[in-house]
Amino acid sequence: MLTRPRSHPCLMAEILKEVAAKSAEKLPAPKVQPSPPLSPGDRLLLHFFIFLIGSWNLVMIDLAHSPEDFWCWLPIAAWASVLVLHLGIMLLLRRSSSRMGGGTLPPGQESGMEGMGHV
């Protein structure tokens, strides 16, 4: 039987808490499968699309709040510069690791540092 506690004068909060507890007990625990590591090309595309989405959002915010002043170009240019620098460093590391080791590094160690994976 549901009683109305003094701290919650609304009976709905108690009903929702009870329903949530019952429904959570019936659900099976999900089996989590680790996803395979992304290939270098997929990581590059991921970086590029995140940059496009973030840039688009900055442009839309800029147009909505101050259409007469395009302030968003400076952060977008800085972000693009950092991404290009990052790409250059990763390509140099990949080239030097293939010269030294004769192949590519295992997934998650492309940065040349053990234990430091990269998205």
Decide: 68 and 85 in contact? Cβ < 8 Å: no
pLDDT in tens, 48-59: 999 999 999 999
For the chain, the structural domain boundaries read: 40-101
pLDDT in tens, 102-116: 555 555 555 444 444
Q: Is 108 left (phi over 0), alpha (psi -120 to 50) or beta?
A: left
Rounded to two decimals, the pTM is 0.54
Q: Across all residues in the chain, what is the average pLDDT?
A: 79
CA-nearest of 51, 44, 45, 43 to 76 is 51
pLDDT in tens, 64-85: 999 899 899 999 999 999 999 9
Averaged pLDDT, 22-51: 82
Q: Which has the minimum average pLDDT: 7-16, 76-85, 91-100?
A: 7-16
- Over 70: is that where the pLDDT of 3 sits? no
Decide: 3 and 73 in contact? Cβ < 8 Å: no
Q: Which has the minimum average pLDDT: 29-43, 83-97, 103-117?
A: 103-117
- Distance, CA of 33 to CA of 87 (rounded, Å): 30
8-state DSSP, 54: H
